[in-house]
Amino acid sequence: MNLEIIVSFLTVVAGSSTFITLWMYRKQQKRFKTAEAFGQEVTALRATVQELREQIRFQEERINKTQELITSKDAYINQLSQEKHTLEIKNSRNKSAINKSYGCTYCPDISLCPVLVQRAANEEEYLNSLKRR
């Protein structure tokens, strides 16, 4: 009977030590899984951050190109506005010169015609304004 008690006691001790070992191993396994999941989350977040950085870089390049385009378009619009203003003045002066032709009563010398003289002066002034730019 003593032997049975000793065997039973050893069986209980061995079984309980196995249970305790499995229970402790389960906690350790859980920590490993948690650490692995955390590592995967960090990896995924790093990939997301990298992708977002690339998108930001791409958008910054697009913004810079758009700003350059806007600047060049503004310069072009300014140039066209100046040319339009100059042409409006030229047109106004040409109309004035044509109106002076009504005062002409047949000039014997065509170079003395006020219309042609005024028109030549206007053309000269227009060409000079183009050279000044």
Residue type, 96: S
pLDDT at 2 over 80: no
Give pLDDT tens digits for 30-69. Answer: 777 887 888 899 999 999 999 999 999 999 999 999 999 9
Containing domain of residue 6, as a range? Answer: 2-132
**pLDDT level of residue 117 (50, 70, 90 thresholds):** confident
The CA distance from 44 to 52, in Å, is 12
Predicted confidence at residue 48, as pLDDT, reads 95
Predicted confidence at residue 16, as pLDDT, reads 62
**Which has the closest alpha carbon to 100: 120, 114, 119?**
114
List Cβ neighbours of 126 (8 Å cut-off, separation of 6 or more).
Answer: 86, 90
**pLDDT level of residue 15 (50, 70, 90 thresholds):** low
pLDDT at 7 over 80: no
Predicted confidence at residue 123, as pLDDT, reads 83
Instruction: Please give the tally of structural domains in the chain.
Output: 1
For range 73-78, the mean pLDDT:
95
For range 93-100, the mean pLDDT:
77
Predicted confidence at residue 77, as pLDDT, reads 96
**Which has the closest alpha carbon to 115: 102, 132, 133?**
102
Query: ∠ at Cα 26 (21, 29), nearest 5°?
Result: 120
pLDDT at 108 over 80: no
Residue type, 78: N
Q: Which sign, positive or negative, has the C-alpha torsion 58, 64, 67, 72?
A: negative
The CA distance from 81 to 89, in Å, is 12
Q: Is the pTM of this model over 0.85?
A: no
Residue 24 class from Cβ within 10 Å (0-12 exposed, 13-18 middle, 19+ buried)? exposed
